[in-house]
Amino acid sequence: MEAGYTQEDLALRDEIRDFLANEFPADLRDKQLRGAPLSREDIVNWHKLLCTRGWTGIHWPVEYGGTGWTQMQRHIFQTEMAAAGAPPLLAFNIKMIGPVLYKYGSEEQKRRFLPGTLSLDIWWCQGYSEPGAGSDLAALQTRAVRDGDEYIVNGQKTWTTLAQYADWMFCLVRTDPDAARPQQGISFLLIDMNSPGIEVRPITTLDGSAPVNDVFLTDVRVPVANRIGEENQGWTCAKALLGNERTGIAQVAASKHELARLKRVASGISVPGGETLMQQDDFARRVAEVEVDLLGLEYSELRVLAAGADNPGPASSYLKIVGSGITQRLTELFVEAAGYHALPLAADAGDNIYPSWLDFAGRSAPKYFDTRKVSIFGGSNEIQRNIIAKAVLGL
């Protein structure tokens, strides 16, 4: 995909590669290689290191601290970061709430929140899903009742990723329970996670970790000044944010990195008959199928980015469907490659395929289980097919 690179593109690519070779912290690189979980400190320190280079607001307008990069330059950045195994930027800040703030927020809200959002001095989490409102998000029941210059919020959010780390939550609440259509009675609030009445409870997922949470809100007071846009018009912000989230779920650059690692691993595993796993017809065919689908997805993502990153439209649903499927297929192939080493208790014997192979292999099964969720969050793939059927095919 270098045919369209300008001299400026190549210079940026070389600058990013030099930065990763010399400034990517060794301990963080090792954690990424082993597939080990990152701490809050790991994520914040990496984000701030990128911020010192001006490389956090990669999609943001220059006037709000963005890079001013072209679509191709953004693609180069994401590709090079993923190829080096570097952690991604925190999507809640950069891909989700940031664009909502600079597009729909007041000037005061922009001044207050955008700098900290860009630098990760403010860590955001997403208050969307509820126990009875996941893919049918408009069915949410968390209530916000106006009381002078404040809202009193009561309800429960669930599957709130990394809420245990968050300083603030962008939250959808129902401000008009009698609206003709449920989407018309929703407002978009910014809620301080240190407010009295907020309780965060971890949820243990299939891989044994607890990255998601239930968030309970009991008589939480939120200033009206923390509402984005007009009352009962929050669905507009919600849709824009979800479009950017779904585009991010495509994970093209990360999947290219994982595909290269899968090929390297499979080429070092011997199987009966003197071949390597990568030379076996069935395994090689499935790897090739993923690679072809990933190449098609990459070109599709570039077309969506070229059309405008703040308004991906129904194409984001396609990216989400295909991208999440590729992510899941790659983890399935990794489990097959790891064999019995995929069991954490078995990852203590055998030949090293590359440094930390056994440690990584022992995490392949938990990662497989964890990625079952990617076809659900951001709006399930079934919902995305309905969006395509309605918005693209006119059904």
So which residues are the catalytic ones? 245
Instruction: Tell me, letter by letter, the H, E, C secondary structure of 10-49.
Output: HHHHHHHHHHHHHHCCHHHHHHHHHCCCCCHHHHHHHHHH
Strand partners, 169: 125, 191
Dihedral in degrees, nearest 10, Cα atoms 380, 384, 386, 389 = -160
How many C-beta atoms surround the C-beta of residue 68 within 10 A? Answer: 12
The vertex-280 CA angle with 275 and 285, nearest 5°, equals 155
Dihedral in degrees, nearest 10, Cα atoms 371, 375, 378, 383 = -170
How far is CA 133 from each of CA 122, 162, 165, 380, rounded to the nearest angstrom? Answer: 27, 19, 23, 12
Rounded-to-integer distance, Cα 235 and Cα 253, Å: 30
53-57 long-range contacts (CB < 8 A, ≥24 apart) are: 53/19, 56/89, 56/94, 56/118, 56/119, 56/120, 57/94, 57/98, 57/118
Which two structure tokens, joined as six digits, stand for 87? 């952690």
Nearest to 261 by CA among 280, 235, 225, 287: 287
Rounded-to-integer distance, Cα 40 and Cα 162, Å: 9
Specify whether the CB–CB gap between 318 and 303 falls below 8 A: no
